Amino acid sequence: MTRRATKRGEERTSLDGTSADVLVCGASFAGLTVARELAGTGADVLVLDRYEIGERQTSACAAPTPWLEAMGLEGSIRQEIPCMGFHTPHGSVRYRLPWSWSAFDYRELCRLLWAQCGGARFETAKVNARVEATGGDGANETPDAPIAVATDRGVVSAPLVVDALGWRRVLAARSYQPPDAPLSRGLEVHPPGGGEDLDVWIDRSLARRGFAWSVPADGEQRVGVGSYEPRDHVKGPTEDLAERLERPAVRYQGNWFPHRLRPATEAGVFFVGDSAGHCFALSGEGIRTAFYFGIACGRQLRRVVDGEMARAEALERYGAFSARHAPAFRRALRLQRLIPALPPRLLTRLFALLARQALVDRSFGWYLDQAHPAFAAGPRQAADAHGTAA
């Protein structure tokens, strides 16, 4: 059961009229990374989320170990996972990756990220929509005019506003609604269990177009099913897989996740993480990319805060940076369409062919390069988010 820590009733005082230099909406992977990047600038950074930081885990919480290390988040690792198993109804292969995954503790990871956010303030509030700032349209009046955001605790404003609220893209003119939006759906259970490998099943009896997984996390097993087709249900298949693995279907959690890149800026607002579609199609991996694009966005905001550039230039640079990654996201989407359509026996043979270590190293090396942890290593104030990944 999720432990509810979010303030209620009298503790929820009004925030109406509150302003900040930077307003970060969403306090998960993307939002906290943006706030972290602004530490030490002296900017008044206000972070909002409908839940307390770390209260609601939204994923299987597996990320490349080098990314967790680069972000100083090693303390949240529950289990390092060097190998992946791929299973079809006709066979299995096991790959030793050139880098490892790590399953981490969400609450602890968020705590560690928040500890790196310097003097940023945090409030629990549900963000409802962007609204017109008092005295006209904030985005168009003066170059850096405040943008107003309506929450369930009143209207909050800032000249720099980040939407890191996940797939709904709440601060956009048109928010996303399944099942018509380009979204996948995932559900998992978290029974006690274990294992050594991150196992992936491509099996039409579990997901017609999608995949299933098991992530060991030191005494816990995160077992789930993702469907690229948002109309296909995943609860029955998740329970089937848990049964196959002889694990009880307990502690459910699920969500939608995007499989197509979206514009990373819109009408003066910066979008980061799932809100910008920064989640790879095919693998549904969106934590590392939330870090990566969160850093890129934070670095541009930092320059505005430091007086080096205006908001419009930061929007232009960050938007262009995100768009430059479109080919990799498109390639992943093409594979997402192709792989489930392959005859299962052919797919099994392909997995076997790819099992040569040189090929595993090359393909997984390429995959990590698409959002490489070296990007996190640069000194924050000197770094330029205008390049692409290492």
Ligand X SMILES: Cc1cc2nc3c(=O)[nH]c(=O)nc-3n(C[C@H](O)[C@H](O)[C@H](O)COP(=O)(O)OP(=O)(O)OC[C@H]3O[C@@H](n4cnc5c(N)ncnc54)[C@H](O)[C@@H]3O)c2cc1C
Residues that bind ligand X in the complex, under the rule CB under 6 A: 26-31, 48-51, 56, 58-63, 126-127, 164-166, 168, 170, 186-188, 224, 254-255, 257, 273-274, 279, 284-288, 290
Take residue 152 and report the two structure tokens written for it.
């369930």
Give least dist CB 187 to ligand X, A. Answer: 6
Helix residue ranges per DSSP H, 87-187: 106-115
Quick one: which of 156, 155, 157 has its CA closest to 147? 157
- Report CA 68 to chain centroid distance, whole Å: 14
Give least dist CB 378 to ligand X, A. Answer: 21
CA distance 26 to 164: 5
Nearest to ligand X of 33, 88 (CB atom): 33
Nearest residue to ligand X, by Cβ distance, number only:
286
Q: 165, 26 in Cβ contact below 8 A?
A: yes
Nearest to ligand X of 297, 304 (CB atom): 297
Q: Strand 91-104 vs strand 77-88: parallel, antiparallel, or unpaired?
A: antiparallel
Nearest to ligand X of 186, 268 (CB atom): 186
At which residue do the structure tokens 């890191």 appear? Answer: 164
Give least dist CB 358 to ligand X, A. Answer: 26
Give least dist CB 135 to ligand X, A. Answer: 25
Q: 317, 300 in Cβ contact below 8 A?
A: yes
Nearest to ligand X of 278, 311 (CB atom): 278
Q: 112, 72 in Cβ contact below 8 A?
A: yes
Nearest to ligand X of 186, 230 (CB atom): 186
Nearest to ligand X of 237, 273 (CB atom): 273
Quick one: which of 167, 203, 205, 199 has its CA closest to 185? 167
CA distance 351 to 243: 25
Give least dist CB 142 to ligand X, A. Answer: 27
Nearest to ligand X of 145, 292 (CB atom): 292
Give least dist CB 29 to ligand X, A. Answer: 4
- Report CA 90 to chain centroid distance, whole Å: 33
Nearest to ligand X of 145, 271 (CB atom): 271
36 backbone dihedrals φ, ψ, rounded to 5°: -60, -40
CA distance 191 to 245: 11
Give least dist CB 253 to ligand X, A. Answer: 6
- Region of residue 166 (left: phi > 0; alpha: psi -120 to 50; beta: else): left
- Number of residues that this document lists for the chain: 390
- Residue 228's SS3 state is coil
Give least dist CB 164 to ligand X, A. Answer: 5
Nearest to ligand X of 7, 126 (CB atom): 126
CA distance 187 to 253: 6
Give least dist CB 271 to ligand X, A. Answer: 9
At which residue do the structure tokens 């502690």 appear? Answer: 251
